[in-house]
Amino acid sequence: MKKRAFFTIPLSLLLIAVIVASFFLINIQPAKGNITQAQKLAEFTKPAVVRIVDYAVVSWQFNNPNDPEVAAILEQLNNQTVVGGSGSGAIISSDGYIVTNAHVVEATQKKDEDIANDAFEQVVSTVADYFKVDYETAYNYMVSYTQYTEIKRVLKVVLPGGDVLDGEVKSYGAPINEGKDVAVLKIEGKNLPTIPLGNSDNIQNQDNIWVSGYPAAADSDLLSPDSSLVSSMNAGQISATSKKTEQGSPVIQINAAATHGNSGGPVINNKGQIVGLLTFRGDTVNGQEVQGFNFAVPVNTVKEFVNQAGVRNTKSETDTLYQEGLELYWGGYYKDALEKFEAVQRIYPNHSEIKQYIANAEKKVDSSKTLWSDYATTFYIVDGVAGLLVLILLVFTFVGGKSKGSSEADAVPSAGPGPAPIAPEQTPPAAPENTLQDLNNDGKIDVEDILLALQEHQKKQQKKDEE
């Protein structure tokens, strides 16, 4: 056994070391990379922040043929005026449900008469400016000869990837100072990026938050057209948690910079969850906007309308693959990140960020770190074989090492009570009469003589046995 153990014990230890090393490698967590939490939140949430355009087109007919000058003004407007605007929103389900403010989609939710009145004010203002008369004089004249002939409502959702889709209002609160400023929209889509809803009851003063959306102040004629598809994210803190509107609706005060166009955009906490929707800013001072005094609808109020619409706020497969890919990319595992990004592109080709990340990962793939967990199956097979070999070696060492002599001794039955058995007397066989010495008189052994002597001895022994 000692000789066997000298070989088998070191080999067993080596195999055990292989098993331990494989488990260690499999469970190594990918490096996180030098990315701040704010940067992560921006990249995680940006694909799900959308621009919402809501407006109504009103067609006019001017009925005074004796006033061609006013008719010409309307013709310059194509006999149409547009009321409405744009805001922001966030996708909360992979099948296309979006949360935003009610006032963002107010234009298409009004009655025809209210839309026509708003549009008529634009016509009156244009005529008053042209003829240099006061608004009331222009209004009294135009209302006598002008009527609307058609109202066309348009609600569009612009995704960060550039798709422009029709939107439909599924649940609707009320605009600012009329009620809860929340609306839930629906667009057609699948595998869309999403942002999870948080819990506004858990927020505290001075919690860090980020406001995401499409502020008008960030638009400029100096920017490229595709820049309008890129949302902005501004950092700030919770300034107050228990304020209310005149109607009693709760609001959260924040100090993050925001302006027109941010309305309906998500307020995000440090977990990447929506805790509110930006709804209105503080009053102007001397006619100027003052940044740092903005208000948001708490997400728990938003959830009331989400539940009315029957929406489930669940993370999509696109989100999971994209976020896993980002973590790998930031950690330097470019090969593995590329696989995740390509999977995102297969299930959601119009993802706003994925093409750029694929291109970046392809450039860096040669310098990619090794992610050992990718080889888990191979390690498990090797560990299984190594474990089996260790077991075989231990059995071979400690069980299979008994000597032949000890086995024969073990085969002798133990003595029981009573006299010991007497072994029969054995007579040694008679030696052949002719010995080798007799056959070797000349100093040489003749093989034929030996064979003859043995045959003669066998015959004599047989004859003796027969007697």
Indicate the angle between helix axes 354-364 and 317-331, nearest 10 degrees: 30
Q: Which band of pLDDT confidence, cut at 50, 70 and 90, is reported for residue 441?
A: very low
Quick check: 18 pLDDT over 80? no
Segments making up each domain of the chain, as ranges:
2-26+374-398, 40-308, 316-370, 436-466
Quick check: 443 pLDDT over 60? no
Q: Please state, in angstroms and rounded to a whole number, the distance separating the CA atoms of residues 171 and 307.
A: 9
Question: Comparing C-alpha atoms, which of 290, 336, 319 is closest to residue 46?
Answer: 319
Quick check: 340 pLDDT over 80? yes
120 Cβ neighbours under 8 A, 6+ residues apart: 58, 81, 142, 143, 146, 148
Q: Give the CB-side neighbour count of residue 40, counting CA atoms within 13 A.
A: 21
Q: Please state, in angstroms and rounded to a whole number, the distance separating the CA atoms of residues 452 and 359.
A: 97
Question: Comparing C-alpha atoms, which of 235, 248, 318, 299 is closest to residue 99?
Answer: 299
Quick check: 437 pLDDT over 50? no
Sign of CA dihedral 252, 256, 260, 263: negative
Q: Give the CB-side neighbour count of residue 348, counting CA atoms within 13 A.
A: 29
Question: Comparing C-alpha atoms, which of 51, 101, 52, 60 is closest to residue 82?
Answer: 60
Quick check: 265 pLDDT over 50? yes
Min mean pLDDT across 183-187, 218-222, 242-246, 451-455 is at 451-455
Predicted confidence at residue 118, as pLDDT, reads: 95
Kind plus residue range of the DSSP H or E element containing 184: strand 183-186
Sign of CA dihedral 218, 224, 229, 234: negative
Predicted confidence at residue 7, as pLDDT, reads: 65
pLDDT in tens, 191-226: 999 999 999 999 999 999 999 999 876 566 667 777
Predicted confidence at residue 431, as pLDDT, reads: 47
Reported pTM: 0.75
Q: Which band of pLDDT confidence, cut at 50, 70 and 90, is reported for residue 17?
A: confident
| CB 232 within 8 Å of CB 331 | no
In the numeric block, which tokens belong to residue 341?
Answer: 């990004």
Predicted confidence at residue 400, as pLDDT, reads: 57
| CB 116 within 8 Å of CB 76 | no
Q: Please state, in angstroms and rounded to a whole number, the distance separating the CA atoms of residues 418 and 309.
A: 98
Average of per-residue pLDDT values in the chain: 83
Q: Which band of pLDDT confidence, cut at 50, 70 and 90, is reported for residue 289?
A: low
Which tops the pLDDT comparison, 416 or 112?
112
For domain 40-308, give the fold. Answer: Thrombin, subunit H (2.40.10)
Q: Which band of pLDDT confidence, cut at 50, 70 and 90, is reported for residue 406?
A: very low
Which tops the pLDDT comparison, 389 or 167?
167
pLDDT in tens, 78-107: 999 999 999 999 999 999 999 999 999 999
Predicted confidence at residue 248, as pLDDT, reads: 85
Which whole-number Å values give the CA distances from 415 to 408, 419, 420, in the listed order? 16, 9, 7
